[in-house]
């Protein structure tokens, strides 16, 4: 295990784990139910729904593995592994954890304790633009409190636990429409040599 870890990129390390993770079907999901907005807040993201992004099965070695690409339509939740659908995001690298925007779209992320429904255009403006891909958070633990994450997924090299990164909202904009989305659970399926990641997202459209 240690020799494998040493050969992985920071992104790849996130979900190349021993079978202790990928033989487990329990998803990390400590806050699956959140209110749309607190009593003193107005909803600024509409149509919030959930999507399970199911990664491709692949082998993690040599890094970044043989996981191919997952394509996601953030508006409808449609996904495939060949790009035949109308898509906005790609998930590549180890366990499909590296998120990138399709050409013509801007991907951003924001560290915030706001609920997804209450982020607004000011939050989008202040969010950090992703230049290539967004993947493993190496700046904080998974609870991300105080906030300061640089990714959306955490991996603990000691416990081999994979967790979504709390308090991170992602935005996708095409010049006309801005989508807001957030991972709220993650797990893996398979073995140490053949596995896939699964990621649950809330998603909606920014209206203010």
pLDDT tens digits for range 70-117: 999 999 999 999 999 999 999 999 999 999 999 999 999 999 999 999
pTM: predicted TM-score of the whole model, two decimal places: 0.83
For position 134, what pLDDT does the model report?
98
> What is the distance in angstroms between the CA of the first residue and the CA of the last residue of the chain?
47
- Specify whether the CB–CB gap between 203 and 180 falls below 8 A: yes
Q: What is the pLDDT of residues 162-182, one digit of tens each?
A: 899 999 999 999 999 999 999
Query: Is residue 20 scored above 60 in pLDDT?
Result: no
pLDDT band for 63, please (50, 70, 90 cuts): confident
For position 5, what pLDDT does the model report?
29
For position 28, what pLDDT does the model report?
58
d(CA 197, CA 60): 11
Backbone phi, psi, residue 121, to 5° = -65, -30
pLDDT band for 43, please (50, 70, 90 cuts): confident
Paired tokens of 195:
């596995």
Other beta carbons within 10 Å of 176: 5
Instruction: Tell which residue, 58, 47, 61, 53, has the closest CA to residue 4.
Output: 61
Q: What is the pLDDT of residues 123-161, one digit of tens each?
A: 999 999 999 999 999 999 999 999 999 999 998 877 777
Our CA dihedral for 65, 55, 152, 90, rounded to 10 degrees, sits at 90
């Amino acid at each position: 295990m240690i020799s494998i870890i040493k050969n992985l990129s920071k992104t790849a390390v996130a979900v190349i784990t021993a079978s202790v993770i990928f033989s487990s079907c329990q998803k990390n999901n400590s806050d699956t139910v959140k209110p749309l907005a607190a009593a003193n807040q107005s909803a600024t993201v509409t149509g919030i729904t959930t999507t399970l992004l199911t990664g491709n099965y692949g082998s993690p070695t040599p890094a970044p593995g043989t996981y191919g690409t997952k394509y996601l339509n953030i508006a409808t939740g449609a996904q495939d592994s060949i790009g035949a659908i109308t898509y906005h995001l790609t998930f590549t690298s180890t366990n499909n954890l590296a998120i990138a925007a399709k050409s013509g779209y801007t991907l951003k992320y924001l560290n915030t304790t706001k609920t997804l429904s209450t982020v607004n255009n000011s939050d989008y403006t202040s969010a950090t633009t992703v230049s290539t891909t967004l993947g493993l958070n190496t700046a904080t633990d998974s609870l991300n409190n105080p906030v300061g994450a640089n990714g959306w997924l955490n991996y603990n090299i000691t416990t081999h636990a994979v967790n979504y990164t709390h308090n991170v909202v992602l935005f996708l904009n095409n010049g006309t429409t801005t989508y807001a989305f957030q991972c709220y659970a993650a797990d893996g399926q398979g073995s140490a040599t053949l596995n896939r990641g699964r990621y649950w997202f809330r998603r909606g459209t920014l209206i203010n």
